């Protein structure tokens, strides 16, 4: 049985769409379209130690309205749709046995198969967010603040990350929603698991033009964009909300998961 409810979010002016499928709620937050500046200027690199070459090229991005999931896709939801759980971190080997852990160890292709299956059940058009949508949402969209991480300048407020290895108390993912959300009410956009985006990855893409409207990324490539940092990263620059990387779409790692998106009318 499919149930769709509209709610009002207390974190912003955005509406929240709740889709109940197979006993699980998929909570989608509406992101009002707008513009933001992305990328960085290498000429000011001495004053911006996190300005990596892959982010060179400042440009203005304008996006339409869209929905993005409040939480990273969980193991429970993935298994309810696919009938299996590829994740390496499991509740039975985890310190938080009741934690709702994000699915990981899933390739970009497998994320697409999950989304196709979910769409057949719901008759909706879920997808992965574009890289631009991901960053706009992580920044708080039109509620943007100059935070280094998704919702705070204090990384410990918003992210599970491995700053020093097992000594810090965890070696795997943690339950979704365990840290503070950003301004839109989105959780774990910094840390926990990296998240697949729909775009092909190109290190020089930001330099290709000064303005982008609803960009979908390069037309071709050999790697897909991954965003958000993860539990195993110990460098705070690699958890900066701007940081981007590319991974081969067939790659499966215990630190890569994904978050759902939907178009908005």
Tokens for 214, please give them.
């609803």
pLDDT score, position 4: 61
pLDDT score, position 92: 60
pLDDT score, position 15: 86
pLDDT score, position 1: 53
Listed as ranges, residues in the chain with pLDDT below 50 are 8-13, 165-169
CA-based angle 236:34:26, to the nearest 5? 70
pLDDT score, position 89: 83
pLDDT score, position 171: 65
pLDDT score, position 163: 55
pLDDT score, position 36: 94
pLDDT score, position 50: 86
pLDDT score, position 2: 63
Residue with token string 């996190």:
50
pLDDT score, position 146: 80
pLDDT score, position 215: 97
Q: Count Cα neighbours of 211 within 13 Å in the Cβ-side half-sphere.
A: 4
pLDDT score, position 185: 96
H helix count then E strand count, the chain: 4, 12
pTM attached to this predicted model: 0.91
Instruction: Please answer whether residues 253 and 105 qualify as being in contact, where contact means their C-beta atoms are separated by less than 8 angstroms.
Output: yes
Residue 5, classified by CB atoms within 10 Å of its CB into exposed (0-12), middle (13-18) or buried (19+), is: exposed
Tokens for 134, please give them.
């991901």
**Alpha carbon separation from 10 to 13, 20, 72 (Å, rounded):** 8, 20, 20
pLDDT score, position 169: 47
Single out the residue of 70, 264, 19 nearest to residue 177, CA to CA: 70
pLDDT score, position 11: 44
Strand stretches in the chain, DSSP E: 3-8, 15-21, 24-31, 34-38, 59-63, 66-69, 194-200, 211-213, 224-227, 244-247, 256-258, 261-263
pLDDT score, position 241: 93
pLDDT score, position 172: 79
Residues making up the chain, counted from first to last? 265
Distance in angstroms (rounded) separating the CA atoms of residues 107 and 226: 11
């Amino acid at each position: 049985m499919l149930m769709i409810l509209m709610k009002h979010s207390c974190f912003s002016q955005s509406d929240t769409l709740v889709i109940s499928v197979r006993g699980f709620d998929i909570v989608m937050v509406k992101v009002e379209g707008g513009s933001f500046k992305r990328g960085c200027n290498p000429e000011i690199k001495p004053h911006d130690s996190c300005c990596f070459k892959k982010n060179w090229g400042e440009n203005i991005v304008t996006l339409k309205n869209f929905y993005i999931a409040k939480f990273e896709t969980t193991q429970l939801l993935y298994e309810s749709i696919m009938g299996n759980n590829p994740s390496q971190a499991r509740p039975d080997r985890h310190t938080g046995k009741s934690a709702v852990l994000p699915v990981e160890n899933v390739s970009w292709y497998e994320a697409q198969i999950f989304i196709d299956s979910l769409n057949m059940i719901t008759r909706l058009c879920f997808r992965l967010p574009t890289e631009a949508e991901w960053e706009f949402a992580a920044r708080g969209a039109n509620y943007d603040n100059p935070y280094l991480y998704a919702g705070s300048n204090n990384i410990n407020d918003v992210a599970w990350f491995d700053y020093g290895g097992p000594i810090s108390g965890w070696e795997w993912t943690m339950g979704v929603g365990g840290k503070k959300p950003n301004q839109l009410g989105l959780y774990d956009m910094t840390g926990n698991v990296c998240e697949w985006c729909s775009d092909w990855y190109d290190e020089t893409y930001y330099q290709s033009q000064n303005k982008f409207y609803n960009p979908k990324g390069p037309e071709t490539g050999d790697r897909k964009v991954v965003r958000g940092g993860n539990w195993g990263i110990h460098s705070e620059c690699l958890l900066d909300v701007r940081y981007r990387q590319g991974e081969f779409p067939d790659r499966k790692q215990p630190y890569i998961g994904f978050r759902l998106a939907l178009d908005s009318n």
